[in-house]
A and B are shown apart, each in its own frame.
Chain A
Amino acid sequence: MTHTPTAHKPSYMRIFAFLAVLTVVEVTTAFTPMPKSAQVLFLVALAIAKATLVAMYYMHLRFEGRVLRLIAVGPLLFAIILTIAPFYDLALRR
């Protein structure tokens, strides 16, 4: 079913505040000395959090039915494979 976000209308400005704060945290993290692997993991986690907020609330996926959610989430599986698989290749080259 397609739902318009009238029943649970999100606070768009609150989501914006979260996105702005997360962006500041990202930039601060990039310039903070710390182990590279921890920094990368944290930055990727922050990016995923921001993207999830936009997709769920601004793209209204949180209020959509199963079909549209499946279309949105389906390619992410392949996207993860495409971005994780190269690490195996890189490990073999070393």
Chain B
Amino acid sequence: MEHAVEHPNNPFPGVSTTKFAIWLFLASEVMFFSGLIGAYIVLRGGAAEWPIVTKVLNVPLVAGNTFILIVSSVTMVRAFAAIEAGDQRGMRHMLIATAVLGIVFLGIQAYEWSSLIREGTTASTNLFGSTFFTLTGFHGLHVTGGVIALFYVIGHALRGDYTQAEHGGVELMGLYWHFVDVVWIFLFTIVYLI
């Protein structure tokens, strides 16, 4: 079980080593997605033609999916708030709700992808297709990883491993999940709205 613990030789007193580590990981993830977004800007800016994204992509559907991801951030943070208050049941319910919302997000993304592919846009059709499937695909992979991690955390929660005093696993899970939400906030704007 994970705990947001402070190692005795911690060079930064007061900062839990596990939280320090996950923030370092998230910093590396910022660079990963920045590279992808930078490449998208270069390719889109240099392309001879680019479709009007609001006409090609199903923006209302994806706006709904964006809303689902935002709601999942709320349920995730409420799971953390619940265990902070010692509410085991509330934490379990909110964690399960977060995982379900994550799966719904992935299901809608799969539907969106299959619709686009049926209409003839694939990763190898043109630059738009390549960049679209790369950016949304890598984000989808991150959501998938998050859902798998959520199952792991839910397993511990159901066994009663998290307490009001020790719930680092829920906090770390939340940090990753919210990060995935933040990435989507930018991808939604860059890929679907601009």
- B70 close to A89 (CB less than 8 A): no
Contacts of A39 in B (CB 8 A): 194
Set of chain B residues within 8 Å of A86, measured between Cβ atoms = 38, 41-42, 45
Give per-residue flags for A21-36: 1 if the beta carbon is below 8 A from chain B beta carbons, else 0.
0010011011100000
Q: List chain B residues, Cβ under 8 A from A1.
A: 14-15
CB-based contact B74/A54 at 8 Å: no
Contact A82 B185 (CB under 8 A): no
Chain B residue contacts of A82, Cβ below 8 A = 31, 34-35, 37-38
Residue of A nearest to B71 (CB): A16
Contact of A46 among B16, B27, B41, B189 (CB under 8 A): B189
Contact B14 A23 (CB under 8 A): no
Q: Bin the interface of chain B by size.
A: 35 or more
In the complex, how many residues of chain A place their beta carbon closer than 8 angstroms to a beta carbon of chain B? 47
B131 CB-CB contact with A under 8 Å = no
Known: A82-B38, A85-B38. A47 touches B27 (CB 8 A): no
B186 within 8 A of A: yes
* A72 and B174 alpha carbons, distance in the complex (Å): 15
What are 7 of the A-B contact pairs (CB < 8 Å)? A12-B78, A31-B54, A54-B178, A54-B181, A65-B14, A79-B31, A82-B31
CA distance A50 to B67 in the complex (A): 12
- B182 interfacial by beta-carbon distance below 8 Å: yes
Q: B90: shortest Cβ distance to chain A, in Å?
A: 13
Identify which of B17-25, B103-111, B132-140 touches chain A. B17-25
A74 vs B71: C-alpha distance in the bound complex, in angstroms?
28
Q: A6-B84, A71-B20, A86-B45 are in contact. Are A16 and B70 (CB under 8 A)?
A: yes
A45 CB, nearest partner CB in chain B, Å: 10
Q: How far is the CA of A16 from the CA of B77 in the complex (A)?
A: 11
Once the chains bind, are B15 and A58 in contact (CB under 8 Å)? no
User: Contact between A40 and B45 (Cβ–Cβ < 8 Å)?
Assistant: no
Q: Are B23 and A58 in contact (CB under 8 A)?
A: no
Q: Which one of A31, A68, A78, A85 contacts B20 once the chains associate, using CB atoms below 8 Å?
A: A68
Q: Do the beta carbons of B46 and A23 come within 8 Å of each other?
A: no
Most buried by A among B4, B174, B179: B179
Please tell me if the beta carbons of B193 and A75 are within 8 angstroms of each other in the complex.
no
Tell me which of A19, A27, A40, A74 contacts B59 (CB under 8 A).
A27
Chain A residues positioned under 8 Å from B70 (CB to CB): 16, 19-20, 23
Q: Determine whether the beta carbon of A23 is less than 8 Å from that of B193.
A: no
